[in-house]
Amino acid sequence: MDTDADQQLSKFFDQLTVEKRASDHTIKNYYRDLRYLNQYCSDKALNSWRDVKPGDIRSHIASRHRQGIGSKSLQRELSAIRSFYNYLLKNRWVDNNPAQSIQAPKQARKLPKTLDVDQVNGLLEAGTDSALEIRDLAMFELFYSSGLRLSELNALNFADIDLPDQTLLVRSGKGGKTRLLPVGSKAVHAINNWLAQRLKFTSTSESALFVSMRGSRLGQRSIELRLAAWCKKKGIAEHIHPHMLRHSFASHLLESSQDLRAVQELLGHSNISTTQIYTHLDFQHLAEIYDKAHPRAKKK
């Protein structure tokens, strides 16, 4: 690329830093993504950003895909390229955005990993040895009882949960949505046990439901680490993360009720197509039963 192209790229990053106040993480990603495009253009002897056509962007993304780059990463790269070209358009250094209509290859949808009911029972009935484990069990019960996201459990306040009514209010759901959720009796019992210990760690002025030993809100990473430590101590070999309990909640509920809309509401999904992935899990379970039980389907 020529000197003007390099200067335009440099000015774009100045704008991101000063005017847009983008995070260091965003700037780092954009820099890496646009560096790949810059290298492609140099290899193809494209000297200015104006020379780049939609076919070049398509070819560049296809090349990255052949290198094993996943769909989500390619979507992010395209987003960076579109943002850069929108900046060039605004300054009239190009006439169009060649990345505008280019789509990343679709990623094969992976089925979420779930635990079966016996595995969940083994995880949640392992017993507690300390006040912190009482807290941890309350968190894990709540993940499975109400299908919470990690960020939602982390953001829960003491005032958000109504134990006599067996409900909780998620105020900080994905997309800023609020939803009211039921809380199962096992989770209610576990939370009551934790509340009996909570004031040993914090004051009445702290709003967070789950707090650390220092008395402040327990962070998301700490929750993940506590679940890993719980599994290790209880002799559970499988790597279990908080979202796996949410997936298990959805799968088990759908398996029993067959009510996709209800599960969608409980999970807080905006689009039912997101929830439909659990129907594939349910079918997978039925197919396994069929293979084992049907006299003409049994494998020799």
Handedness of CA 166, 169, 174, 177 (dihedral sign): positive
Structure tokens at 151: 């960020």
28 an active-site residue? no
Active-site pick, 149, 198, 247, 252: 149
> 246: closest CA among 230, 229, 222, 223?
223
Q: What is the dihedral of CA 194, 196, 197, 201, to 10 degrees?
A: 110
With beta carbons less than 8 A apart as the criterion, state whether 134 and 126 touch: no
232 an active-site residue? no
65 an active-site residue? no
Task: Please calculate the CA angle 169-171-172 and round it to the nearest 5 degrees.
Answer: 135
179 an active-site residue? no
**Residue appearing with tokens 């076919």:** 55
In the three-class reduction of DSSP (H, G, I as helix; E, B as strand; rest coil), residue 86 is classed as helix
Active-site pick, 28, 174, 189, 280: 174
Active-site pick, 135, 246, 247, 252: 246
Active-site pick, 50, 171, 243, 285: 243
Report long-range pairs for 12-16 (Cβ below 8 Å, ≥24 apart). Answer: 12/84, 12/87, 12/88, 15/87
Angstrom CA distances, 76 to 16, 105, 212, stand at 16, 12, 35
How far, in Å, CA of 151 to CA of 171, rounded? 11
> 52: closest CA among 186, 43, 10, 26?
43
What spatial distance separates the first Cα and last Cα of the chain, rounded to whole Å?
A: 63
**DSSP classification of residue 181:** E
Task: Please calculate the CA angle 112-210-269 and round it to the nearest 5 degrees.
Answer: 35
Active-site pick, 60, 135, 247, 269: 269
Catalytic residue IDs: 149, 174, 243, 246, 269, 278
